Amino acid sequence: MWPFEFVSKNLPHGMGIFASFSPGVLEVLSNELFGIEALSYLLQDNPALVEATTSKVGELIYGAYKKIIGLDNLVGFFQGDDM
């Protein structure tokens, strides 16, 4: 979280931070972990794996945001929301 702490301490007066840790759960699954084609097959062939992975990715993203709540100059969050 040090980049956010550094920026918070060095912002000009009156400015704030919007934090974003991830483009979103779907994007992590389809771009970083499985690929969109494999994810599509897994939804049919192994939905339990997709559900478990989706839950874990969501927990990690949520946990990252929880760690910086209360940071000086934090004015909001921006989370990918297109899906």
CA 34 – CA 27 distance, rounded (Å): 10
pLDDT of residue 82: 61
Nearby residues of 73 by Cβ (< 8 Å), 6 or more positions away: 7, 8, 11, 15, 16, 17
pLDDT of residue 83: 58
CA 53 – CA 33 distance, rounded (Å): 9
- List per-block mean pLDDT (blocks of 10 residues) for the chain, which spans 83 residues: 92 94 91 96 98 97 94 91 62
pLDDT of residue 80: 74
Q: Are 29 and 54 a contacting pair, CB within 8 Å?
A: yes
